[in-house]
Amino acid sequence: MGGRRFRRSRSERGSGPHVRGAQLTGPEPERVRRPYDSTLRRQRAAEGRERILDAGCELLRGSSIRDWRALTVRAVAERAGVNERTVYRHFSNERALRDEVMRRLAEQAGIDLDALELDDVVDVTARILETVSSHPLERRVPLDPTLTATGQQQRDALLRAVAARTEGWSEADQAVAAAMFDVLWSVAAYERVVGDWQLERAQAIKGITWVVGLIEEAVRSGRRPLDVSSWGSDAG
């Protein structure tokens, strides 16, 4: 028997541990695959997008609301603590990023222009101007001295005209009323309605003078601009 060698059958060789050289090996353990958590991935992506938009809004706080030169993909990426490729993963280009930042600013101000109704205009106006006032004013280009002097002459004339009919008003009320007249008859107001609204020259003039007439009527009736409660009592 010492000289005989016993060979196991093929079925015996295929089962159980076997020797390969000096290493004892067994069947490889099955790999446990973790289920793909798409919910967590979407949540992290949404958080990253929010961080990028917040960074964009922060970059605008130190400049005029109309000055968006600081809002670049690179600057936003640095502020948000991500790389530029991550920004482009959420926004196809810089314009798309800026559009979303503008939507975020409107959302923060509580402004929904898609749902705007006539009864909302006063409130939305206040919200827009509150947002604008939270930013520094844009640096103005100095005018020609003749234009500067003419502008001051116009403001002085308006203050005198308003003060003459509002003896019981505070100086602040008088200044606000005069300032509204000044805004409406300004070159900027005319250019806005003709350029942006594409109104004809005659339409622009009639529209602006119509609003000027409404303010004049309010001043005559004693409806002070800084006392909104007086509007209701006189409106009926």
Task: Supply the mean pLDDT for the chain.
Answer: 86
pLDDT at 226: 85
Q: Are residues 123 and 44 in the same domain?
A: yes
Structural domain contains residue 184: yes
pLDDT at 5: 52
Q: What is the mean pLDDT of residues 6-35?
A: 52
Residues 6+ apart with CB under 8 A from 13: none
Q: Are residues 154 and 116 in the same domain?
A: no
> Which of 13-22, 157-166, 171-180 is the least confident region?
13-22
Q: Are residues 150 and 223 in the same domain?
A: yes
CATH number for the domain harbouring residue 113: 1.10.357.10
Residue 108 predicted with pLDDT over 80: yes
Q: What is the mean pLDDT of residues 180-185?
A: 97
pLDDT at 213: 97
Q: Are residues 180 and 124 in the same domain?
A: no
Structural domain count of the chain: 2
Domain with 120, as residue range(s), is 39-133
Q: What is the mean pLDDT of residues 18-23?
A: 50
Q: Are residues 115 and 168 in the same domain?
A: no
| pLDDT tens profile 51-106 | 999 999 999 988 888 899 999 999 999 999 999 999 999 999 999 999 999 999 99
Residues 6+ apart with CB under 8 A from 130: 109
Residue 21 predicted with pLDDT over 70: no
